């Protein structure tokens, strides 16, 4: 038996192994672990139950007072007066406490110990259950760090909220991990949900293995933190992930810049992890792509497409579009420094799994947050096929394959700012990868300066103002091949040589050389923009 604070008794299960007999005990206000939505529901349900119990107590107190007054019509005796006063005060207090009701949430007790092999965690949730026969510490099935056994617990039937545990600092710190919102579960389900008995409910890549890295902070309304982002990238590298999906983002003043971008570049360029992210939901205006998905060179930004069938079936549109199109809110490029912004598009809506605390198994959501895991699942299929065929795997090769084979969504050239290269086509991308398997694993990085100006250095030419479009301008385009870190000098860098054909979609507006020979050290050429 453990004593944590006055009035608290925690009885451990006698079958739990603990060679040292040292127990680390702590507590937590459970509402601090829940989302606002779940907390609001629990408060409403607990208030209803409390009101019922309080009303019963009021009725009982009133009954006792009435019986006392009936039995003692005359209360001249001091003892009777005091007894009557106590009964009246009890009734008044019960009525008054309803006015000052404040549910700050139950406290759960947490115990950690080392069983000789790993750290274990057990949770006592009797205060949450509201039933002394439920939620006892001794009845809890102990957890360990989630990555070791992939087991989780549920606080109570009332909240239906699952959680995982991780132990740090020799048992002195226990991390209870819960959801910030249904968003992540929905995203994960789109990419890799696996229902062997109901395959229609499967995600895009049901054979994929997931590593959940929580970057959102419940205390900040699920806003991501820099620390969370860095930890997630470290975890992806440590576990040798093939792909990262990041359905997060917000506007930025400086595209392709910052500490996180530097680390994302390292993840892609050095560790060869394919990084896919949502482009944003702030369209259809220009320059609305979000960071990092739509503004970063090494991250594949995904826009949200809706098909006629999805519009009719999922969104109940009476007159669905005749053909597929981008959702009107899907963010649009270019970036402030002239990059395209959106790389490819994928279905931007889905009925997919959500956490049990929502009290439903699936939910319809839409957004580029949904398009990104749809694309990531498709790329996971491509990666699996490339591995099976022994095709060299590289983020550079995969990106070329999916961008060069994407299906055009619109014939209008300007729509490329919204759709990117088009709708992801996994089968065609695999055929491309097969044909290109002997090509160098290289990505071209472009930097552009206006002739006569050293700054700013851009990734594209974006002439937005009317004055800029009505005069001739000349630009220097630097084209640098980028190899993965660790590429062999003699076997890969020295022999590299490609003759590229340059294409202008309208030579009356943009004039460029017809060909350029590029080696490992890069090459520059001049581009002339003519007035419209």
Q: Is the pLDDT of residue 121 over 50?
A: yes
Domain end marker among 376, 406, 436: 436
Instruction: Identify the CA nearest to 34 among candidates 232, 185, 179, 151.
Output: 179
Region of 249 please: left (phi>0), alpha (psi -120 to 50) or beta.
left
Counted domains in the chain: 3
Judgement on whether residues 453 and 427 belong to the same structural domain of the protein? no
- pLDDT of res. 470: 87
Q: Please, which pLDDT band fits residue 244 given cuts at 50, 70 and 90?
A: very high
Q: How far is CA 259 from the centre of its chain?
A: 19
Domain end marker among 404, 436, 468: 436
Judgement on whether residues 298 and 339 belong to the same structural domain of the protein? yes
* Residue of higher predicted confidence among 365 and 128: 365
**Averaged pLDDT for residues 40-48:** 93
Judgement on whether residues 306 and 349 belong to the same structural domain of the protein? yes
**Averaged pLDDT for residues 46-59:** 93
Judgement on whether residues 48 and 81 belong to the same structural domain of the protein? yes
Condensed to tens digits (0 to 9), the pLDDT of residues 86-108 reads 999 999 999 998 888 899 999 99
Judgement on whether residues 254 and 395 belong to the same structural domain of the protein? yes
Which H or E run includes 306? strand 300-306
- The DSSP string of 123-147 is EE-HHHHT-TTSS-GGGS--B--HH
Non-local CB neighbours of 215 within 8 Å, separated by 6+ positions: 224, 225, 228, 229, 231, 232, 248
- pLDDT of res. 116: 95
**Averaged pLDDT for residues 332-344:** 96
- pLDDT of res. 6: 53
- pLDDT of res. 414: 87
- Provide the domain limits for residue 404: 182-436
Owner of token pair 């669905």 = 320
Which H or E run includes 446? strand 442-450
User: Across all residues in the chain, what is the average pLDDT?
Assistant: 93
Condensed to tens digits (0 to 9), the pLDDT of residues 497-530 reads 999 999 998 999 999 999 999 999 999 999 999 9
Judgement on whether residues 258 and 293 belong to the same structural domain of the protein? yes
- pLDDT of res. 3: 45
Judgement on whether residues 470 and 333 belong to the same structural domain of the protein? no
- pLDDT of res. 413: 85
Give the CB-side neighbour count of residue 419, counting CA atoms within 13 A. Answer: 20
Domain end marker among 417, 436, 455: 436
Judgement on whether residues 509 and 361 belong to the same structural domain of the protein? no
- Give me the helix-helix angle, 226-238 and 259-269, nearest 10°: 10
* β-bridge mates for residue 244, sequence order: 275
Judgement on whether residues 413 and 357 belong to the same structural domain of the protein? yes
**Averaged pLDDT for residues 265-281:** 97
Judgement on whether residues 457 and 432 belong to the same structural domain of the protein? no
Identify the sign of the CA torsion 465, 467, 468, 470.
positive
Residue 228 and residue 243: Cα distance in Å, rounded? 18
Across 17-31, 217-231, 377-391, least confident range:
217-231
Q: Is the pLDDT of residue 78 over 90?
A: no
CB 75 within 8 A of CB 84: yes
CB 187 within 8 A of CB 181: no
Judgement on whether residues 128 and 42 belong to the same structural domain of the protein? yes
């Amino acid at each position: 038996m453990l004593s944590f604070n006055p009035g608290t008794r925690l009885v451990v299960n006698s079958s739990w192994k603990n060679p040292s007999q040292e127990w680390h005990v702590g507590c937590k206000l459970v509402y601090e672990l829940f989302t606002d939505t779940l907390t609001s529901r629990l408060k409403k349900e607990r208030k209803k139950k409390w009101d019922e119990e309080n009303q019963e107590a009021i009725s009982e107190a009133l009954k006792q007072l009435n019986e006392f007054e009936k039995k003692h019509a005359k209360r001249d005796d001091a003892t009777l007066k005091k007894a009557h006063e106590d009964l009246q005060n009890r009734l008044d207090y019960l009525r008054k406490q309803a006015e000052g009701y404040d549910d700050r949430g139950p406290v759960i007790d947490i115990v950690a110990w080392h069983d000789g092999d790993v750290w274990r965690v057990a949770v006592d949730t009797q205060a949450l259950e509201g039933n002394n026969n439920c939620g006892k510490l001794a009845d809890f099935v102990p957890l360990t760090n989630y990555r070791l056994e992939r087991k989780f617990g549920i606080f109570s039937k009332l909240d239906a909220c699952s959680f995982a545990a991780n132990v740090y600092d020799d048992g002195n710190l226990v991390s209870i991990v819960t959801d910030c919102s249904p968003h992540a579960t929905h995203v994960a389900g789109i990419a890799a949900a696996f229902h062997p008995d109901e395959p229609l409910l499967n995600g895009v890549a049901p054979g994929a293995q997931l590593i959940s890295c929580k970057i959102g902070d419940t205390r900040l309304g699920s806003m991501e933190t820099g620390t969370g982002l860095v930890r997630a990238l470290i975890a992806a590298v440590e576990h040798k992930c093939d792909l990262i999906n990041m359905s997060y983002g917000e506007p930025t003043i400086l595209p392709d810049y910052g500490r996180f971008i530097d680390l994302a570049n390292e993840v892609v360029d050095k560790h060869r992890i394919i990084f896919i992210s949502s482009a944003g939901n702030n369209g259809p205006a220009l320059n609305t792509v979000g960071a990092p998905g739509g503004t970063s060179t090494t991250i594949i930004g995904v826009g949200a497409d809706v098909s006629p069938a999805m519009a009719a079936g999922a969104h109940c549109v009476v007159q669905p579009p005749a053909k597929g199109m981008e959702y009107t809110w899907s963010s649009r490029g270019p970036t402030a420094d002239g990059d395209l912004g959106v790389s490819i598009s994928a279905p931007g809506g889905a009925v997919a799994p959500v956490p049990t605390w929502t009290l439903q198994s699936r939910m319809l959501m839409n957004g580029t947050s949904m398009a990104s895991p749809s694309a990531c699942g498709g790329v996971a299929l491509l990666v699996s096929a490339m591995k099976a065929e022994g095709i060299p795997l590289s983020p550079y090769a995969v990106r070329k394959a999916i961008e060069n084979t994407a299906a055009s969504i619109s014939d209008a050239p300007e729509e490329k700012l919204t759709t990117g290269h088009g709708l992801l086509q996994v089968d065609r991308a695999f055929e491309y990868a097969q044909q290109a398997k002997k090509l160098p694993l290289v990505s071209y990085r472009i930097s552009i300066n206006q002739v006569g100006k050293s700054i700013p250095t851009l990734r594209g030419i974006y002439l937005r103002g009317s004055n800029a479009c009505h005069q001739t301008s000349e630009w220097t385009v630097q084209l640098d091949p980028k190899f993965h870190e660790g590429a062999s000098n003699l076997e890969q860098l020295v022999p590299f040589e490609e003759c590229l054909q340059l294409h202008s979609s309208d030579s009356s507006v943009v004039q460029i050389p017809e060909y350029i020979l590029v080696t490992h050290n890069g090459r520059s050429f001049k581009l002339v923009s003519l007035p419209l």
